[in-house]
Structure 1
Amino acid sequence: MTTVEDPADPSHGTEAAFVTGAAGGIGVSVAQILAERGAPVALADVDAGAVRSLAAELRAAGHVAVGYQLDVRDSEAVRDTVDKAEHELGALGTLVNVAGVLQVGRTTELSEQQWRRTFAVNVDGVFHASRAVVERMMPRRSGCIVTVASNAAGVPRHGMAAYAASKAAAAQFTRCLGLEVAEHGIRCNVVCPGSTETDMLRSMWTDEDGLRATLDGDPAAYRVGIPLRKLATPRDIAEAVAFLASDAAGHITMQDLYVDGGAALRA
């Protein structure tokens, strides 16, 4: 674990937020919106340079932010980073699990290494961060955890078995955790994005027709399109996360919020 930058001014009265995967598309927007709404933010990402840049941008805008290089697969490093964040920023009131990787390919084509890496980041990482943070929240009898999963957690996707299975596991873990810690006043919820304007989505497009195919759907892969006829922006997902982390969602726990323009056709 490496501290990338110290906060500009750690003196504050608002509980801090810890965001994993903070240097990626959705993670950046989550960090920005939580900072805008007054929370000191601990930014954790495996990309030290990107997380350093984001922390500096937030501090330049007048927010309290500190960046940490962190691989969420390393449970000891996660605990150390959470300890460091509470020392520098104060009590953590919010954890947002955003860190994730995408592995596409038919099941028969996936290597064991690809499968294990997907679960190590998307599931083990959520477990490591949630456990480390919730242990600190429980004595305070307050806090909230939001896990960013995917609409693929609830809808089968062709060529996405590893990703979909890992996101389903992360979502169910978060709901189970919510049941365990409800008596301590801690809420745990899941945000399930659909196709969102990020590098992860663009990596799935093989040609210039990628956007059209995403909006229209792909009958050959048994995939419907997006009824709203547009991609989500990272800010769309961050707004949903911020809502679930806010007092306005004070009686919401163990729920999944799909933010996918209707693509999952959820009942």
Structure 2
Amino acid sequence: MSTGQNLEGRLALVTGAARGIGEAVVTALAERGARVLATDLDATAVAATAARLGDRVTARPLDVTDAAAVERLVAEAEDALGPLDIAVNVAGILRGAPVLDLDDADWAAVFAVNTNGVFHVSRAVARRMTARGGGSIVTVASNAAGIPRSGMAAYAASKAAAAMFTKCLGLEVAAHGVRCNTVCPGSTRTDMQSAMWAASPGGAESGERAVLEGDPATYRTGIPLGRIAEPSDVAEAVAFLASDQARHITLHDLYVDGGATLRA
């Protein structure tokens, strides 16, 4: 780890921290010396994450779709723990279906978490960061934000909205020293990904192979690097963008997908 990624003395808020990429982000930030407020709708699971990582991590339940609850938690955290230097939006859900079969409830649920949740958290922390003259906000979106995916319209649209929101926020707060960036993972070995593979016609092994090799029938490219990402691969990118090594980077999309979208 470079000294430029030392986060000693920083306080970070992470949503969706109970498992997968969120848990890996909490781990990466804590390992770099940050104190981390780990939040998730699943209070039991996020408490287990905090217990595993020790006294640098504090766990709190949080429903990011509830704007008032987000505001309360951020205010209480700053009163109890100190000013937030870093916020990482990881909380997200996936409801996959072809558009013609997608119902209103699933569409609304995906946007409530993946887009509205990013708005609620980012707004609450940015108000305080701008007043202090500094901070870093990182939104974990998806490479689906930049390339169409069959059967994933709600997810892709919600992540594209979250990514563009983060850029617009970054433009507005840059003069106050607050940086806003997006990390866009591709297929990553998480519970969400495993559930998608298990639901594929050939089962989990077939589903993973199809992701690696691509699927011309659904216009899906494979992964040029030939591997599925681990959550830590994404967390390392988040930690970099949150650190002083990225002090001149804002409004940026960092794709961590093994080249799957064939773009920067």
Q: TM-score range by the shorter chain?
A: over 0.9
3-state SS of the aligned residue for 1:262?
coil
3-state SS of the aligned residue for 2:64?
coil
Which residue does the alignment assign to 1:88? 80
Q: Aligned AA for 2:34?
A: A
- The number of aligned residues is 252
Matched, 1:28 2:23: yes
**Distance (Å, rounded) in 1 between the aligned partners of 2:11 and 2:164:** 25
**Contact kept in structure 2, 1:175 and 1:189, CA below 8 Å:** yes
Per-residue deviation at 1:15? 2.4
Aligned pairs for 1:147-162 (under 5 A) are 147-162=139-154
Which residue does the alignment assign to 2:3? none
Return the match for 2:234 from 211, 233, 237. 237
Per-residue deviation at 1:182? 0.3
**Distance (Å, rounded) in 2 between the aligned partners of 1:116 and 1:163:** 11
Which residue does the alignment assign to 2:125? 133
Q: Aligned AA for 2:180?
A: C
Matched, 1:211 2:208: yes
Runs of 4 or more, structure 1, over 2 Å off, are none
Matched, 1:111 2:103: yes
**Distance (Å, rounded) in 2 between the aligned partners of 1:83 and 1:22:** 19
Per-residue deviation at 1:58? 1.3
Q: Aligned AA for 2:186?
A: G
Matched, 1:101 2:93: yes
Cα deviations across residues 148-184 of structure 1 (Å, max 9, x unaligned)? Answer: 0000000000010000000000000000000000010
Q: Aligned AA for 2:58?
A: V
Structure 1 gaps of 5+ residues are 1-12
Per-residue deviation at 1:204? 1.0
Which residue does the alignment assign to 1:9? none
**Distance (Å, rounded) in 2 between the aligned partners of 1:49 and 1:89:** 21
Which residue does the alignment assign to 1:8? none
Q: CA RMSD in A?
A: 0.9
> Percent same amino acid among aligned pairs?
61
If the length of structure 1 is used for normalisation, what is the TM-score? 0.93
**Contact kept in structure 2, 1:146 and 1:188, CA below 8 Å:** yes
Matched, 1:263 2:260: yes
Per-residue deviation at 1:88? 2.4
**Distance (Å, rounded) in 2 between the aligned partners of 1:249 and 1:98:** 19
Q: Aligned AA for 1:31?
A: V
Structure 2 gaps of 5+ residues are 1-7
Q: Aligned AA for 1:161?
A: A
Per-residue deviation at 1:24? 2.4
**Contact kept in structure 2, 1:44 and 1:67, CA below 8 Å:** yes
Return the match for 1:187 from 179, 182, 203. 179
Q: Aligned AA for 1:180?
A: E
If the length of structure 2 is used for normalisation, what is the TM-score? 0.94
Q: Aligned AA for 1:243?
A: F
Per-residue deviation at 1:87? 2.1
Q: Aligned AA for 1:233?
A: E
Which residue does the alignment assign to 1:250? 247
Per-residue deviation at 1:260? 0.2
3-state SS of the aligned residue for 1:30?
helix
**Distance (Å, rounded) in 2 between the aligned partners of 1:87 and 1:55:** 20
Which residue does the alignment assign to 1:47? 42
Matched, 1:164 2:156: yes
**Distance (Å, rounded) in 1 between the aligned partners of 2:196 and 2:29:** 29
Matched, 1:67 2:59: yes
Which residue does the alignment assign to 1:225? 222
3-state SS of the aligned residue for 1:224?
coil
**Distance (Å, rounded) in 1 between the aligned partners of 2:28 and 2:61:** 21
**Distance (Å, rounded) in 1 between the aligned partners of 2:34 and 2:167:** 24
